[in-house]
Chain A
């Protein structure tokens, strides 16, 4: 049981945890646990109720959710000349405000990062509900960056699709709020609230493309399955509460350390259900079935945002729950994570091979990417925490950049989603093709990209724990995955082919032939009918909206930068250093 003793000691060494300096126990009938900083009873100072609140921890939530409310307020009060914007001459208003909130979150995350090292800072606050530590700051930066990138790349898409307006940005900001809350949560209830805020916003975002049936269908599917997963999660939380008497991570671990649990069936069931709920969010096999349909149907930039944020939020929750609340159960959850990891890497990669739809392919690829994060989580070591955080941060940029490019490629109405839409890209837009090449190679884990370094640290964490088989499976899975990333990369350099499509048209409308239709084969002779058209491959340069181009450039630069330099890795290491056991 020496491990448990080890675990207790640093808890007591929480700076400020032993004596919350905001209040004194003398004023009222309250006691403060010297180990966990848990307060029981009502603490009063001079007759008033006072709880130790570190408001700095709340700033990102204020900024993001305040931004969402501000957007709603503006859209409700400003006179609207058009649906999209109060000032049509000022494009990108909503996206700018959203990315401003995102930038604010990033800046606040950086401030937090420097702040949390100080000894006087309480690492757990708001009545033990929120953590205020390196990990929460790291994820805050990540989610802020994802918000900035997501908003910027959505602008061009929404304008093109005629969907511009404040609502999607409100949803995006509230989704980010939920994600930040998940990373900060110090208990299962707060985690659940964050999870729900995130998920419900994402359901709405998925269904946001009003004119595409696939979008609504995907939204409904995501909603039904997602609510089911949420229910499973909260049932698991309830069982854990039943087994340990607390929903707070520190309460759970305190109970598990100080009590020998003889019959741990309820606890294990709760743990299993919580893992299932979160595994659904991160789309790990076998809880991934929603993801291809949702990725295919949802508006493309939102998919990029969702792939990054929902995954990172889910993993932040898993990290905290498994490593903070349930480290005594390591021998029980490690096999589960092992199975999820292997299944995700193998099935994700293999199923991606069979896809002909670009977004479905990327959905399966993100399933296999979740598998790599699970490989890093599986050993349950500080090195694994570093690896998971680093991997998620780099993946955020790779996946957002990829979907930004896909959103441009598919054209108006998401018309061209199949793999052949990337054909001829290298000839049409060489820079865009180069960007996509870097991002794909990054996801494949080719050296000199952040994806390679991510796989390196993740598998190093596994091997450090003697998990050679897991590491080998991961790398062989990477070889399979490389195949489909390369297939896309190769198509970019292939000449484009004419595509066939059936369209509804006035049949004696040979005027079509003037545009991009090479030949028209008619099925009938008069009136409106379905005609089979052969479209000449597009050869003109793709028009990439400025903000989207900026997103792609940023993602590509970051993917290379984080792959050949140390700063991000050092940050990730700092998360693991004060890890709580």
Chain B
């Protein structure tokens, strides 16, 4: 089986987090930070190696680098991790964002506990993306709450305790549905004795069994899973914890909360919602799409009227989530691919945006637009970085956002035309609130108090550089991404088409982007069993 790269990706930050806890009390913050960032950079190196070694092309649609150990045998639970085109870049962007979030912004409170929680969060996020066992997934999904809570509590905002509790309780209550849903799926599948299932929490076994459940059961189960993920993402009626959490957390915390943590929800709905219950997903797609479109419009409008830069960015993520969900529930190869690319993009852009916003905070100690203005004069580079990042978020061709949004809108237009049409207005609205924000912060007359603002330091430039590099690279040359993502998405779409005889992508072939799926790959769901080490 070769080097267990995925286990290392999970255990390395976990071990580093425990190491942080075990450091002597009097360790200097700088030393602790060097150690933690060093561990995260090592993790990044492993992640890059894994991404490069990940085999692209239609022959490699299954899970690669899989690793499986029996864990809790009596309950059918195993340590089962693997990566496919859907998760590979999420892992990469996670590994990229964490060291930046740990290295760059200053932390007011105990640096050691902050770094320890960050590393634990990284381990939990990695596990969530890599897990192929529903129990392991749930464990990791829940464990993210604890470091998330303590990161928000360690923030600077005056209402951080309130925000942290709200974050924890909302997501924990949402997870109650996931908990019951996973157990119910497992037990119902076991009760139906579908051939090829083994009563375990293994995703392949669950997916085989779940597609044979009565449609009403599938819809209820998908609703249960979807509730948990919708709270985590957050989709519109479940989002009220989010602006508080993002604004009260420290800069690094907001970066990973917005950049990585909410992708767990979007990833979850794709991997554990649409994949397990494709028929129900097709039936419930109008609900999800409607919520997503409302989210796009509503998030943009509310963002536009914020008086506070960080809250504006926070509401902007609601709109971003909307785009991802619109793509995923289009059920075309372009739409889902676009949704995944959007997840990666959003990680980079939002991460960078919160980083830059944090830099503004460090200089001016305020997020109020009324206090800011004219920063461009003294901090031109900060201004330029900010404009590049928001243009990427808006979707300017040549930057990463364009690739994702284009695919999303194109893909969903094929199957769910009117939702895509309304969603398109979100692109315009994003330009409105982000450019207006830029204008209010960086342009205009420089007030006396803003005159002394210094520009980005070299350390800050070094921190933001990898994110900008990613933004430009994906925008200019997305092929390496698409070629790795697409085989898995082709598979998923084939799985949906096969599970739901009534579902067809109009104008045959259009849904399948650049190349046809080889016949032997399309056919049975069973072909997903070819999970060992990257297919043939």
Contacts of A552 in B (CB 8 A): none
Check A457–B75 contact: CB distance below 8 A: yes
Task: Say whether, besides A460-B183, A493-B153, A430 and B176 are in contact (CB < 8 Å).
Answer: no
Q: Is residue B35 contacting chain A, with contact meaning CB distance below 8 A?
A: no
Contact of B172 among A482, A493, A566 (CB under 8 A): A482
Chain A residue nearest to B136 (CB atoms) is A447
Q: Is residue A434 contacting chain B, with contact meaning CB distance below 8 A?
A: yes
B34-79 residues with Cβ-Cβ distance < 8 A to A are 71-75
Q: Is residue A446 contacting chain B, with contact meaning CB distance below 8 A?
A: yes
Check A452–B139 contact: CB distance below 8 A: yes
Check B176–A479 contact: CB distance below 8 A: yes
Check A448–B139 contact: CB distance below 8 A: yes
Task: Say whether, besides A430-B25, A464-B187, A479-B169, A573 and B161 are in contact (CB < 8 Å).
Answer: no
Check B21–A476 contact: CB distance below 8 A: no
Contact of A472 among B138, B164, B176 (CB under 8 A): B176
**Most chain B CB inside 10 Å of its own CB: which residue of A447, A448, A573:** A447
Check B142–A446 contact: CB distance below 8 A: yes
Task: Give Cα A463–Cα B165 distance, bound, in whole angstroms.
Answer: 29
Q: Is residue A475 contacting chain B, with contact meaning CB distance below 8 A?
A: yes
A341-355 residues with Cβ-Cβ distance < 8 A to B are none
Check A478–B180 contact: CB distance below 8 A: no
Contact of B180 among A457, A472, A487 (CB under 8 A): A472
Q: Is residue A87 contacting chain B, with contact meaning CB distance below 8 A?
A: no
Digitize A168-196: 1 where CB-to-B-CB distance is under 8 Å, 0 elsewhere: 00000000000000000000000000000
Digitize A430-462: 1 where CB-to-B-CB distance is under 8 Å, 0 elsewhere: 100010000001000011100011001101100
Check B180–A447 contact: CB distance below 8 A: no
Interface SS majority for chain A? helix
Q: Is residue B428 contacting chain A, with contact meaning CB distance below 8 A?
A: no
**Chain A nearest CB, measured from B185 CB (Å):** 10
**Chain A nearest CB, measured from B115 CB (Å):** 15
Chain A residue nearest to B173 (CB atoms) is A479
Check B153–A482 contact: CB distance below 8 A: no
Q: Is residue B323 contacting chain A, with contact meaning CB distance below 8 A?
A: no
Chain B residue nearest to A464 (CB atoms) is B187
Contacts of A441 in B (CB 8 A): 146
Check B169–A482 contact: CB distance below 8 A: yes
Chain A residue nearest to B143 (CB atoms) is A447
Contacts of B173 in A (CB 8 A): 476, 479
Task: Give Cα A209–Cα B365 distance, bound, in whole angstroms.
Answer: 54
Check B143–A448 contact: CB distance below 8 A: yes
Q: Is residue A224 contacting chain B, with contact meaning CB distance below 8 A?
A: no
Task: Give Cα A339–Cα B451 distance, bound, in whole angstroms.
Answer: 67
Contacts of A478 in B (CB 8 A): 172, 176
Contacts of B73 in A (CB 8 A): 566, 570
**Chain B nearest CB, measured from A176 CB (Å):** 29
Check A569–B172 contact: CB distance below 8 A: no
Task: Give Cα A430–Cα B110 distance, bound, in whole angstroms.
Answer: 13
Chain B residue nearest to A573 (CB atoms) is B74
Check A475–B179 contact: CB distance below 8 A: yes
**Chain B nearest CB, measured from A106 CB (Å):** 23
Chain A residue nearest to B188 (CB atoms) is A463
Q: Is residue B168 contacting chain A, with contact meaning CB distance below 8 A?
A: yes
Task: Say whether, besides A459-B183, A482-B169, A486-B149, A475 and B142 are in contact (CB < 8 Å).
Answer: no
**Chain A nearest CB, measured from B17 CB (Å):** 12
Q: Is residue B284 contacting chain A, with contact meaning CB distance below 8 A?
A: no
**Chain B nearest CB, measured from A577 CB (Å):** 11
Digitize A461-480: 1 where CB-to-B-CB distance is under 8 Å, 0 elsewhere: 00110001001100110111
Task: Say whether, besides A460-B187, A472-B180, A447 and B142 are in contact (CB < 8 Å).
Answer: yes
Task: Give Cα A565–Cα B187 distance, bound, in whole angstroms.
Answer: 22
Contacts of B25 in A (CB 8 A): 430
Contacts of A333 in B (CB 8 A): none
Contacts of A569 in B (CB 8 A): 72, 74-75
Digitize A561-581: 1 where CB-to-B-CB distance is under 8 Å, 0 elsewhere: 000011001100100000000
Contacts of B238 in A (CB 8 A): none
Task: Give Cα A158–Cα B237 distance, bound, in whole angstroms.
Answer: 54
Closest 7 CB pairs of A and B: A475-B176, A447-B139, A479-B173, A479-B172, A471-B180, A447-B142, A463-B183
A residues in contact (CB < 8 Å) with B: 430, 434, 441, 446-448, 452-453, 456-457, 459-460, 463-464, 468, 471-472, 475-476, 478-480, 482-483, 486-487, 490, 493, 565-566, 569-570, 573
Task: For the A-B complex with A463-B180, A463-B184, A487-B165 known, give 10 more contacts whose Cβ atoms are closer than 8 Å.
Answer: A446-B146, A447-B138, A452-B142, A471-B184, A476-B173, A478-B172, A479-B173, A479-B176, A565-B72, A569-B74
Pull 11 A–B residue pairs with CB atoms less than 8 Å apart, ordered by A: A471-B184, A472-B177, A479-B172, A479-B175, A479-B176, A483-B168, A487-B165, A490-B153, A493-B153, A565-B72, A570-B74
